[in-house]
Amino acid sequence: MLLVVRALLMLAGLVFIVIGGSFLFYPVSQGSAFGLDAVGAQGLSSLRGDFTAYFWVTGIGLVAGAWRKGGRVLLVPIAILGITFLVRALSLAIDGFYEGWAVPMAVEAATVLLTLYARHLFGSGTRGLPSDAPI
């Protein structure tokens, strides 16, 4: 089971990294796939910077946590995706439902659940981090 969970984390992490790269190199088309329109250089910069960082940090956290079996490293993608899920739910309550709302929330929820399970399997130790790491 441990091998399967590690493989799923790696796969999910690689998908997030690829999506982040798409925002870096194709911000207009990738942004429109997410319902976003870039307005001028500032909009392109925001799509490239913010979304590339979001997806790369999440993806690298998943890959690093799986590779090192590091429970603490997995706290980063858990926090990022957990907050994203909760804010999307809040947005649905405030702004209403829209076509396709369930897919991103299902991906976020499934990834958080998988990552929480992996953290349980790996333990919450510092494997992969220096012993004096503040996390």
> 96-131 pLDDT, tens per residue?
999 999 999 999 999 999 999 999 998 865 555 555
Residue 40 lies in a domain: yes
Residue 6 lies in a domain: yes
Residue 135 lies in a domain: no
Q: How many residues does the chain have?
A: 135
DSSP symbol at 49? I
- Domain with 114, as residue range(s), is 2-122
**Cut 0.85: pTM above it:** yes
3-state DSSP helix/strand/coil % of the chain, to nearest 5: 75, 0, 25
Count of domains forming the chain? 1
Residue 51 lies in a domain: yes
> 76-101 pLDDT, tens per residue?
999 999 999 999 999 999 999 999 99
**Residue 21 corresponds to which amino acid?**
G
Looking at the chain, the whole-number percentage of residues with pLDDT higher than 90 is 79
Residue 43 lies in a domain: yes
